[in-house]
Structure 1
Amino acid sequence: MTTETLPERSTSESAIGVHVKGYVERVRGGELGALPAVFGLVVLCVVFSVLRPAFLSPVNFANLFTQGAAVTVIAMGLIFVLLLGEIDLSAGFASGVCAAVLAVLLTNEGWPWYAAVGASMLTGAIIGTVLGTLVAKLGIPSFVVTLAAFLAFQGVLLLLVKGGTNISIRDETILAIANNNVPPVVSWVAVIAGVAAYAAIQFVKARRRSARGLVADPLILIIFRVAALAVIAGVAVYVLNLERSRNELIVSLKGVPIVVPVIVVLLLVWTFVLHRTRYGRHVYAVGGNAEASRRAGINVDGIRISAFVICSFMASIGGIIAASRANSVDPNTGGSDVLLFAVGAAVIGGTSLFGGKGRALDAVLGGAVVAVIQNGMGLMGYSAGVKYVVTGSVLLLAAGVDALSRKRAAATGRR
């Protein structure tokens, strides 16, 4: 019995050793991925938890999700543009314009919520089509096009809200997006189903690779990933399901905020698009080398236009979330620091400003870092000026790490 199990154990250990060695070599070669963002997120959470124990309270934990939701969603769309080596400076105010369309149709015109949401998303798609066409077909640099749109959309937003009017949103469905919670039982069912689905996908993927004679992840590594996901998701749901109300007899506040599953669904959709479809492979190809992609028969202009469409479409969803959280739309919706934080979230999460490298997950990780910085420093009583300085420093550090990793990758032949 012992002689039968030892070879299996040694084989498993050698397979893990190969994967660990390969990962270390990739990191040393400049392929850092999300490692800096994860490390920074852990450090920030530990520091703020020590300095302000209230940081880990259920109330603040839930607030972190709603606080960073709009920026995370906008950053998820920006990643498609950044993957091509382009930039969209208008995404912030584009979200504000789409939110204003939603508010005007809901409050002033009396449209049902689903029609208003559809019109808002359609507005985002039209904005992206116009911007992408100007960049791809006319050859105007994306910086110039989106800078002009940044200025123009401020004016459009002012016109929609009639100068300085604050348009209140009273539709319960829209308000629930960023203000209501998923029932605790439903939260647990969703987590269990999600972890089970992830485990099934991992095992099926490994079996298919083995059947084709390809190198598959060892069983123990798959088990570790599934267990890690189960622990992280389980702890998060447990904390969010705790009572957060000061007086639960008046109102009960517990459960996962509705905006969380919205972000998870968007993350899964865009991760699938980027990594499991021909379109996603074309996006990476164009971002890596547009001329080579054109010679390979890829519709480069179409890819560029579609990336801006996705970016503005996601900005519309971010605007809807922001309007839901604020219960209104005003001239500042989508303005101020929204764009800066969205771009910062994408870059901090690991997306390269030079194109060709990035994932939808980067927006979530980077958005979490930005939200933690803003939230933690707010709890410590720092002014907005200090928050901007710290966030800007983290963004500069992330861009520096990206530049150095690219140089390292080029030097080692991994670029």
Structure 2
Amino acid sequence: MTDTANQSIAADLADERLIRAQGIGGYVRQFLGRLRAGDLGSLPVIIGLLVICVGFYSAEPRFLSSRSIVSITQFAAPIGIIALGIVLVLLLGEIDLSVGSVSGFTAAIMAVLVVNEGYSMIVAILAALVAGLLIGAFYAVLYTRVGVPSFVFSLAGLLGFQGALLYVLGTQGTINLPSDSFLVQFTRFEFVSPTMSYVLVVLIAVAYAGTQLLSVRRRSAAGLSSPPVVLIALKAVALLVGLGFLSYYVNIDRGWSYLWVLFAVLVVLMDVALRRTRWGRHVFAVGGNEEAARRSGIKVNRVYFSVFALTSLFAALGGLLQAGLQTSVSQASGTTDTNLTAIAAAVIGGTSLFGGRGSAYAAMLGIIVLQAIQTGLNLVGVDSSVRFMVTGGVLLLAVAIDSVSRRARSSSGRG
């Protein structure tokens, strides 16, 4: 190791110790420094969501009613799960344009097995999920072994699986799911009880504080900076109070839907997998610089295989949940604006189109923004054509912010 490298490492460690010694003030300055360097994180989408809420509430107070919030979260969940898969593939700097068609096709498999063939709902759901997993594996083979670009094979998949949807449905066109089936009941009518919602809030706050304190202990043992314990306590209390109030407010209506809870659990699990596991670090490494990742010993092809498989699996799961929410599967399932909405949600939520930057929470934030826009425009009586134009404008703004912040980070790195 050269003297220059040793000096750089020593300087970084000195900065870490200085920040740690300065306490909360040091971390505030560190946060502001990251913002100036272009590391905006989820801040733009959070500000945008606040602006959307204030604007629509001013035009129609029902927008922030308990019933409206419950509906926004419930109907956002299926597409949000599909967007979660898009986040993964975008982290690699790739794209999957077929998630909508895959969601419709796998939902059709489930519907035909249940209604036409008489299989149980569990068996049909498992068959549909396996189909989604196999589609993703096939995509991975095309990319890693044949060398077909993701844009090309996913565009082919968009068309091909749309045709497969029509073939599976045949002359029926639409298949109505049994109203008493597990899937319909779960997606439409199952809600968390008020008592259970408060228990979950407490468990979430305790789990957050526990994981943060464990991280502080590990970083301190390694001589790295870590947030002050007081700051962690304040964040945990804020999380407890915020989620507690939201739970109280939605419990005025029906409460949190189990569909939304499932989506939230998947987001948390994927966030932990991306930030806390070797696989997650490899995903970011490949998305940041594939050649450097390969030279460092990472099995790049395995990373691509896992991500494409998970993306299609999430597409299948989202399609099944969407079918349950709509109580049917039709020739239009997954073929309208599902693709664009899922991709837009991932990008609007803060996932970079250039790869290597983003988080699982981007899917949640992005789909809430899009569902809030749709709900607000419906409440104020605006034509659906405006929704597409507004969504396009928001997507363009998100990509522009990402591009500007990326240049800022690049300039900061050179400096």
After TM superposition, the score normalised by the length of structure 1 is 0.92
Query: Does structure 2 retain, via aligned residues, the 8 Å contact 1:184–1:255?
Result: yes
- What is the CA–CA distance in structure 2 between the aligned matches of 1:367 and 1:50, rounded to whole Å? 22
Quote the residue 1:33 is aligned against: 41
Quote the residue 2:118 is aligned against: 110
User: In the alignment, is residue 207 of structure 1 matched against residue 232 of structure 2?
Assistant: no
177, 190, 200: which is aligned to 2:186?
A: 177
* 1:302-321 equivalences in 2 (<5 Å): 302-321=302-321
Quote the residue 2:85 is aligned against: 77
Query: Does structure 1 retain, via aligned residues, the 8 Å contact 2:132–2:312?
Result: yes
- What is the CA–CA distance in structure 2 between the aligned matches of 1:388 and 1:83, rounded to whole Å? 25
- What is the CA–CA distance in structure 1 between the aligned matches of 2:372 and 2:84, rounded to whole Å? 18
Query: Does structure 1 retain, via aligned residues, the 8 Å contact 2:20–2:225?
Result: no
Quote the residue 1:224 is aligned against: 234
SS at match of 2:146: coil
Q: Which amino acid aligns with 1:87?
A: I
CA-based RMSD: 1.6
CA displacement at 1:50 relative to structure 2: 1.4
Query: Does structure 2 retain, via aligned residues, the 8 Å contact 1:182–1:256?
Result: yes
- What is the CA–CA distance in structure 2 between the aligned matches of 1:323 and 1:352, rounded to whole Å? 30
- What is the CA–CA distance in structure 2 between the aligned matches of 1:295 and 1:205, rounded to whole Å? 29
User: In the alignment, is residue 49 of structure 1 matched against residue 53 of structure 2?
Assistant: no
Quote the residue 1:95 is aligned against: 103
Query: Does structure 2 retain, via aligned residues, the 8 Å contact 1:72–1:367?
Result: yes
Q: Which amino acid aligns with 1:301?
A: N
Quote the residue 2:331 is aligned against: 331
- Tell me the percent identity: 42
Query: Does structure 1 retain, via aligned residues, the 8 Å contact 2:90–2:353?
Result: yes
Quote the residue 2:351 is aligned against: 351
User: In the alignment, is residue 238 of structure 1 matched against residue 248 of structure 2?
Assistant: yes
Which piece of structure 1 moves more, 164-173 or 284-293?
164-173
Unpaired stretches in structure 1, ≥5 consecutive residues: 1-10, 245-253
SS at match of 1:61: helix
Q: Which amino acid aligns with 2:214?
A: V
Query: Does structure 1 retain, via aligned residues, the 8 Å contact 2:87–2:360?
Result: yes
Which piece of structure 1 moves more, 75-84 or 203-212?
203-212
Quote the residue 1:161 is aligned against: 169
- What is the CA–CA distance in structure 2 between the aligned matches of 1:25 and 1:175, rounded to whole Å? 49
Deviation per residue, 1:34-55 (Å, 9 max, x gap): 1111110111011111111001
Residues 1:207 and 1:296: Cα distance change in structure 2 (over 3 Å):
closer
- What is the CA–CA distance in structure 2 between the aligned matches of 1:233 and 1:72, rounded to whole Å? 20
Which piece of structure 1 moves more, 254-263 or 325-334?
254-263
CA displacement at 1:289 relative to structure 2: 0.7
Aligned length: 395
Quote the residue 1:4 is aligned against: none
Query: Does structure 1 retain, via aligned residues, the 8 Å contact 2:107–2:320?
Result: yes
Q: Which amino acid aligns with 1:109?
A: E
Q: Which amino acid aligns with 2:360?
A: A
Q: Which amino acid aligns with 1:216?
A: S
SS at match of 1:16: helix
SS at match of 1:298: coil
User: In the alignment, is residue 21 of structure 1 matched against residue 67 of structure 2?
Assistant: no
Deviation per residue, 1:182-215 (Å, 9 max, x gap): 2222222222222222122222222332344322
- What is the CA–CA distance in structure 1 between the aligned matches of 2:183 and 2:330, rounded to whole Å? 16
CA displacement at 1:299 relative to structure 2: 1.5
